[in-house]
Amino acid sequence: MAGPRGRLLTRYRDRPGQDRFYPTSERVPIDGVVPRDWRAAVIDDTGRVERIPYELCVLRALRDAIRRREISIVGANRWRDPEDDLPSDFESNRDVHYASLRQPLDAAAFIVDLQSKLTAALSSLDRGLADGTTGNVRIMTGAGSRGSSSRRSKRCPSRSRCTR
């Protein structure tokens, strides 16, 4: 693991339970590693950083970066470098590749188009919720709700007679 977090963890990896806190002289990166909700568990009242919760936060940040493909893992097909998926002539023939994907070269145009599609979809959902034509989809509020729900459709007796 590269960067200040990786160097810090490497220095302390051979001292598993000996030190509960990192020394105050150690520079421990907090921003981008420790979520605000975890800070009370990671940093004590005197400003010392506790190792175990901090290392859990580092692992969580690493997992999230891998999922976002900000970090690639050599030899792991699923988490490989996305740059390897591009054709070798991508930069020199960018316009041809974008045209084959039916995408604009201009990022702003792409965003405007995406925003209009999302706005139309949300407007359609909003109208459907108001009309009761969403197919049993409901928006739920209150403590413990997950935000939306839908009831399962009745099972068809035979797949050959089912239409969707």
Burial of residue 8 (number of CB atoms within 10 Å: 0-12, 13-18, 19+): buried
| Mean local confidence (pLDDT), 99-114 | 93
Contacts of 41 (CB under 8 A, 6+ apart): 50, 53
Q: Kindly report which listed range (15-19, 33-37, 46-50, 133-137) carries the lowest average pLDDT score.
A: 15-19
pLDDT digits (tens, 9 = 90+) for 34-72: 999 889 999 999 989 998 899 899 899 988 888 887 887
Q: Reply yes or no on whether the pLDDT at 130 is more than 80.
A: yes
Mean pLDDT in the chain? 80
Contacts of 148 (CB under 8 A, 6+ apart): 137, 138, 139, 140
- How far is the C-alpha of 82 from the C-alpha of 72, rounded, in Å? 8
What does the radius of gyration of the chain's CA atoms come to, in whole angstroms? 25
